[in-house]
């Protein structure tokens, strides 16, 4: 299978820099690039915990993954460099992750990583190496439109990662390439097997690569010990229902772990109040949101008010919305919308832009006043 790297020069005269995380996706991208006859340079960023992570599975950019990336590069006969970005990753991603929880927000570190370390630092490095583009293993499509390159959903909706790339700038998109956007995952693994790559059957990395066993609370407590401060669990009217062991254990929409018995109906986390360390709970209908204000909005296409859909979580179904200049208004109430999450706007399959959810407006007036 051939991949189109969308370059304006003959590929045999091109230099393609590939971001190699040590997984099957980026390994196949490197292989597809090498097949073109271009000069290929693989770059792996060591981001964290390279000692303890050597035997971990479900991670990326550490220990065993670096070894796997190097082995793939050797197999393909391409140059490969490993750069230590652990300090930069800790400052820009892990510390920010912990701080967001202290603010009662729901962070998405994968987007922060793409914004900073991967699509800023690594892209700059690719330019310094004389690359004609930076290719990654993300499942999204770069489509040439009348106004230049556009970012579109992947052909395989089950693998689409466009939600995590909404903050990509137009200048970055001009230099980036995503060769896997039109491929299903089984085809990618088959290419890896055909080439005899040891990573062909390697499990996919987990969403939060630096969180062992999914225990994000322990990571936050290690970085910010004060995050474990106790507080009250209250209902919408302020009545104390119980105590909690730290805001880091809760996100908006959560039902499990409240440990509150004797209630007439199931309770969910409606909002988190960091100043008072209160977790506010209520019935599911109280989660309904009719609007959200966005911060740090990034547009990859011309802003439009109508005909839009939005995803407020990576696995959420797109919801119809209207852009009002400061945020989004849902056509129908949406549930589980949390400050700190990203709201990514689409026109069909095209990513028009998105921003960070700063605050939400409840669908019911009496709940907004509560």
Closest to 218 in 3D by CA, of 197, 196, 246, 198: 246
And the tokens for 196?
Answer: 């005899």
And the tokens for 119?
Answer: 């699509």
d(Cα 272, Cα 349) in Å, to the nearest integer?
A: 33
320: part of which helix (H) or strand (E)? strand 319-323
Active-site residue 209, yes or no?
A: yes
Give the single-character DSSP code of 19: E
C-alpha 232: how far from chain center: 31
How deeply is 176 buried, as exposed, middle or buried, from its count of CB atoms within 10 A (0-12, 13-18, 19+)? buried
Q: Are 340 and 347 in contact (CB under 8 A)?
A: no
Catalytic entry in 60, 61, 110, 113:
113
Q: Are 163 and 180 in contact (CB under 8 A)?
A: no
Strands 79-84 and 39-46, by their bridges, are parallel
Closest to 341 in 3D by CA, of 328, 325, 323: 328
> How big is the chain by its Cα radius of gyration, in Å?
22
d(Cα 43, Cα 128) in Å, to the nearest integer?
A: 12
Active-site residue 60, yes or no?
A: no
C-alpha 110: how far from chain center: 4
Whether the CA torsion 271, 281, 337, 119 is positive or negative: it is positive
Contacts of 336 (CB under 8 A, 6+ apart): 252, 253, 287, 312, 313, 316
d(Cα 182, Cα 171) in Å, to the nearest integer?
A: 22
Instruction: Return the SS3 of 329.
Output: strand
> Could you give the residue numbers annotated as active site?
113, 209
């Amino acid at each position: 299978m051939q991949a189109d790297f969308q370059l304006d020069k003959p590929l045999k005269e091109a230099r393609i820099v590939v971001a190699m995380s040590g997984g099957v996706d980026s390994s196949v991208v490197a292989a597809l690039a090498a097949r073109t006859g271009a000069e290929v340079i693989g770059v792996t960023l060591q981001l964290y915990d390279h000692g303890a992570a050597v035997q971990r599975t479900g991670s990326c950019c550490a220990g065993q993954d670096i070894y796997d990336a190097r082995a793939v590069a050797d197999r393909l006969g391409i140059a490969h460099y490993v750069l230590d970005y652990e300090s930069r990753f800790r400052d820009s991603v892990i510390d920010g992750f912990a701080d967001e929880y202290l603010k009662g927000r729901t962070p998405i570190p994968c987007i922060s990583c793409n914004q900073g370390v991967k699509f800023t630092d690594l892209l700059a490095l690719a330019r310094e190496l004389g690359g004609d583009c930076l290719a990654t293993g993300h499942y999204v499509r770069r489509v040439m439109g009348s106004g230049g390159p556009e970012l579109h959903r992947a052909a395989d909706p089950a693998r689409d990662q466009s939600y995590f790339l909404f903050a990509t700038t137009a200048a970055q998109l001009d230099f980036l390439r995503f060769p896997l956007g039109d491929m299903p995952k089984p085809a990618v693994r088959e290419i890896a097997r055909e080439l005899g790559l040891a990573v062909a059957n390697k499990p996919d990395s987990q969403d939060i690569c630096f969180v062992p066993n999914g225990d994000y609370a322990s990571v936050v407590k290690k970085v910010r010990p004060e995050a474990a401060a106790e507080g009250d669990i209250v209902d919408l009217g302020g009545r104390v229902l119980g105590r909690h062991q730290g805001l880091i254990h809760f996100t908006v929409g959560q039902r499990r772990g409240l440990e509150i018995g004797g209630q007439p109906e199931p309770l969910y986390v409606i909002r988190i109040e960091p100043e008072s360390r209160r977790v506010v709970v209520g019935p599911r209908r109280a989660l309904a949101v009719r609007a959200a204000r966005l911060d740090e909005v990034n547009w990859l296409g011309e802003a439009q008010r109508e005909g839009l859909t939005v995803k407020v979580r990576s696995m959420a179904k797109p919801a119809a919305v209207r852009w009002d200049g400061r945020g989004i208004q849902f056509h129908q109430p949406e549930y589980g919308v949390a400050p700190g999450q990203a709201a990514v706007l689409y026109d069909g399959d095209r990513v028009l832009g998105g921003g960070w959810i700063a605050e939400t407006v409840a669908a019911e007036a009496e709940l907004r006043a509560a």
